[in-house]
Amino acid sequence: MDFKDRVAIITGAARGIGESTCWAFAKRGANAIVVDINGEGAERVASEIRAKGLNASAYTTDVADVNAVNAMVEDVFEKYGRIDILVNNAYISGGYAIVTETSQETWNKVIAVNLTGTFNFSKAVAAKMIPTKSGKIINISSGAGVNGSLSSGVQYPASKAGIIGLTKGLAGDLAPFGINVNCITPGLIRTWEPEEMKEQATGWTLEKVARYIEVEVPLKRVGQPEDIAETVVFLASAAASYIVGEVINVDGGGMLDSVAKRESLLGF
């Protein structure tokens, strides 16, 4: 898949899925636009890509700040004259608390970054894509947006479910202009370092991750950021030109029905 001279904006790109996605596009000839509120991290990713002779630019942007988003998109468009791909990956979880202990501030912040941030970028970039009658927007939701989560409070699955609904709405709006909008729901993806696991407030440990994989993931391995990045690349390619408004699970089979999971527990 060749993306030579294409311009791909990737948010939440200072690490994890976003970083891997930047590399995936850059290696295929695209100009990777590395966006993150962590400017130092974004610049590190862009610098490492450029050090390999590939094309990347870094932007420090808060996706929840609509004025900052609009200014950034304008700057990219002025520099390159086009925007071909948008990957809405930026997110925060807000940590775990039962709903009665979840603060209004936590709720507002998670919705602002995860859901409103996706809206902000999609709106700004769509305005550049519509005149060209082409473009690809790929939103990163989560399995938690489909099935909920017992380890991330109410705000995170709510925001991720909202991204799925937003994807459907955007897909209907933009398909007549030749713009494909789709969504990926990752399962458990290894975006942490082992020492970070000890600092998680959700109760996750490496041992619990291993148990989760054994029971919940038929493929019997944790997902890697590259698993998501390669799916993004496919959805952004000509091979996916007739795919619109879809929600694609990339989770090693984690969303297979509960009967399969019970059978796994029983050793079938």
- Helices 16-26 and 39-51, packing angle to 10 deg: 30
Q: What are the E-state strand segments in 61-141? A: 85-88, 135-140
Radius of gyration (C-alpha) of the chain in whole angstroms: 18
Best CATH choice for the domain 7-192+227-253 from the list 3.40.50.720, 3.30.450.40, 3.40.250.10, 3.40.50.1970: 3.40.50.720
The residues near 165 (Cβ < 8 Å, ≥ 6 apart) are none
pLDDT of residue 198: 53
pLDDT in tens, 228-244: 999 999 999 999 999 99
Name the more confident of 260 and 84: 84
pLDDT of residue 263: 57
Beta bridge partners of 140: 184
Mean per-residue pLDDT, 187-214: 70
At 258, the pLDDT band (50, 70, 90 cuts) reads low
**Are residues 167 and 231 in contact, defined by beta-carbon separation less than 8 angstroms?**
no
pLDDT of residue 211: 84
Work out the percent of the chain whose per-residue pLDDT is above 90. Answer: 78
Name the more confident of 202 and 146: 146
Q: How far apart are the first and last CA of the chain?
A: 39
Pick the closest to residue 238 from 109, 15, 85, 45 (CA basis): 85
Mean per-residue pLDDT, 173-198: 84
- The answer to whether residue 212 is catalytic is no
pLDDT in tens, 1-25: 799 999 999 999 999 999 999 999 9
**Are residues 175 and 244 in contact, defined by beta-carbon separation less than 8 angstroms?**
yes
pLDDT of residue 204: 67
Q: Helix, strand or coil for residue 162?
A: helix
pLDDT in tens, 87-119: 999 999 998 899 999 999 999 999 999 999 999
pLDDT of residue 256: 82
Catalytic: which of 59, 91, 96, 156?
A: 156
The residues near 28 (Cβ < 8 Å, ≥ 6 apart) are 1, 2, 3, 4, 233
Name the more confident of 202 and 185: 185
Q: Helix, strand or coil for residue 9?
A: strand
Distance CA 135, CA 61 (A): 22
Indicate the pairing of strand 55-60 with strand 31-36. parallel
pLDDT of residue 92: 96
pTM over 0.75: yes
At 71, the pLDDT band (50, 70, 90 cuts) reads very high
Q: Helix, strand or coil for residue 68?
A: helix
**Are residues 72 and 59 in contact, defined by beta-carbon separation less than 8 angstroms?**
yes
